[in-house]
Amino acid sequence: MIHDVPDDEAEESTYECLQCGAIVTSETHPGECEECGGDFHNRAMSLE
């Protein structure tokens, strides 16, 4: 049987702004882009 193991340590992810292409690294979703106000997308996830 497979069990999910909780993550004790926060892992950093890379996020890219969908409007201006700014890239940031953060442990949590960065929210709104400081450069243009656009939305960020986690680069490890597919856009599809």
For residue range 5-23, what is the model confidence (pLDDT) as tens digits?
A: 555 566 899 999 999 999 9
What is the domain range of residue 38?
Answer: 13-42
- pLDDT of 15 reads 97
Q: Would 5 be classed as within a structural domain?
A: no
- pLDDT of 25 reads 97
Q: For residues 2-39, b (16+ Cβ closer than 10 Å) or e, as one string? A: eeeeeeeeeeebebbbeeeebeeeeeeebeebeeeebe
Q: Would 31 be classed as within a structural domain?
A: yes
Q: Would 6 be classed as within a structural domain?
A: no
Q: What does pTM read for this prediction?
A: 0.73
Number of domains in the chain: 1
Q: Would 20 be classed as within a structural domain?
A: yes
Q: Would 24 be classed as within a structural domain?
A: yes
- pLDDT of 46 reads 85
Q: Would 7 be classed as within a structural domain?
A: no
Taking the C-alpha atoms of residue 4 and residue 1, their distance in angstroms, rounded to an integer, is: 10
